[in-house]
């Protein structure tokens, strides 16, 4: 629809409401996710009836708000009328059309809502946990807040999560967690890179499952399924993590994030275009599985996640619900619409 140009500055963001109410460092964190876009004359920024959750501000130029072909309002950039978002109610009650060349910004509304809520409920600014931009750790919190899964979590939980996290520093080559060890923490990588490997009977060195970058999380599978670690995570560079204890993770993050369904509800989702996702081992799957189910073992979920369709609803299943709840958490955390079969297929 429009071309992306340069990133926004905090000074420009402060021209808009309610962005002007954000604390300085929180505004800077949001600014890194915002870019200026351009629209040509007569180009639509959005249509009447649109339901996409975007918050749009006019930076420069003139936008016409059109209702059934008639211009009902004109918004000029750099004026008082441009301080507020364009036709913010959903579905859109009017169309927005560029009268001349227009520059505007478009922000994910859910992200903005979470950022505003965090800003107004948090007892400290994002910068106190974020680290300094110079060390490359500046984006981890914004990355977490932008995850669709975080939009399900009550604001008070978000505040408590960040309050209770502990920072741990590591050197290149350090093992953060070891395959076979007890699961005790949930981790967010805040600086550096990590390698995830899994040892097998045929490969004692470990097969590579994934590389993790700033803002990515790990350690949730063992906490949710109450099992030992199924992989080893090693620092590829010097870096640091924030970690959250098992009890806090279960209460503050896991419980509000998971959507449990009965077998009847699951079948309804599948009939409506969804799909079963079986996270058991191939041998278990071959012995007994739901018709049409896709099989991706839990420890391969991160590696195979790009093969999944983000537009499909997945009903994640295993024998009891333990492994499937871990799989559904990982999918939800990455923006997929995932459900967990309550009690597992053993109860079907």
Would you name the residues annotated as active-site residues?
A: 318
Q: Are 86 and 44 in contact (CB under 8 A)?
A: no
DSSP 348: -
> What is the chain's length?
348
Per residue in 114-133, is it b (16+ CB within 10 Å) or e — as a string?
bbbbbbeebeebbbebbbee
Cβ neighbours for 67, distance < 8 A, ≥ 6 positions apart: 48, 93, 94, 95
- Residue 125's SS3 state is coil
Q: Are 18 and 119 in contact (CB under 8 A)?
A: no
Q: Are 61 and 98 in contact (CB under 8 A)?
A: yes
Enter the tokens of residue 178.
Answer: 């070891």
DSSP 307: G
Report the C-alpha gap between 173 and 234 in whole angstroms: 6
Tell me the backbone φ, ψ of residue 3, rounded to 5 degrees: -85, 145
- Residue 306's SS3 state is helix
Q: CA torsion, points 247, 249, 250, 256, in degrees to nearest 10?
A: 150
**Closest Cα partner for 315 from 340, 344, 343?**
340
């Amino acid at each position: 629809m429009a071309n992306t140009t340069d990133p926004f500055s905090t000074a420009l963001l402060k021209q808009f409401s309610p962005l002007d109410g954000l604390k300085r460092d929180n505004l800077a964190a949001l600014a890194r996710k915002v870019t200026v876009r351009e629209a040509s004359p007569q180009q639509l920024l959005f249509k009447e009836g649109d339901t996409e959750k975007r918050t749009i501000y006019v930076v420069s130029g003139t936008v016409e708000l059109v209702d059934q072909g008639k211009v009902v309002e004109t918004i000029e950039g750099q004026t008082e009328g441009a301080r507020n978002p364009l036709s913010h109610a959903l579905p859109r009650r009017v169309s927005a059309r560029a009268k001349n060349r227009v520059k505007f910004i478009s922000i994910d509304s859910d992200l903005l809502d979470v950022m505003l809520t965090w800003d107004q409920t948090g007892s400290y600014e994002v910068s106190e946990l974020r680290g300094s931009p110079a060390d490359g750790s500046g984006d981890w919190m914004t990355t977490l807040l932008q995850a669709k899964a975080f939009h399900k979590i009550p604001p008070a939980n978000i505040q408590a999560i960040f309050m209770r996290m502990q920072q741990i520093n590591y050197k290149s080559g350090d093992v953060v967690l070891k395959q076979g060890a007890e699961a005790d923490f949930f981790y967010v990588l805040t600086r550096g890179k990590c390698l995830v490997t899994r040892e097998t009977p045929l490969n004692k060195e470990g097969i590579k499952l994934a590389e993790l970058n700033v803002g990515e999380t790990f350690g949730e599978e063992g906490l949710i399924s109450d099992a030992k670690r199924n992989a080893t995570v090693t620092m590829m560079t010097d870096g640091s993590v924030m970690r959250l204890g098992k009890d806090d993770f279960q209460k503050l993050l896991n419980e509000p994030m998971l959507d449990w369904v009965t077998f009847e509800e699951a079948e309804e989702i599948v009939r409506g275009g969804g799909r079963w996702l079986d996270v058991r081992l191939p041998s278990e799957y071959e012995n007994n599985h739901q018709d049409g189910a896709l099989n991706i073992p839990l420890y391969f979920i991160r590696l195979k996640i790009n093969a999944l369709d983000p537009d499909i609803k997945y009903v994640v299943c295993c024998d009891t619900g333990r492994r499937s709840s871990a799989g559904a958490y990982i999918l939800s955390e990455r923006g997929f619409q995932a459900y967990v079969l309550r009690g597992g297929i053993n109860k079907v």
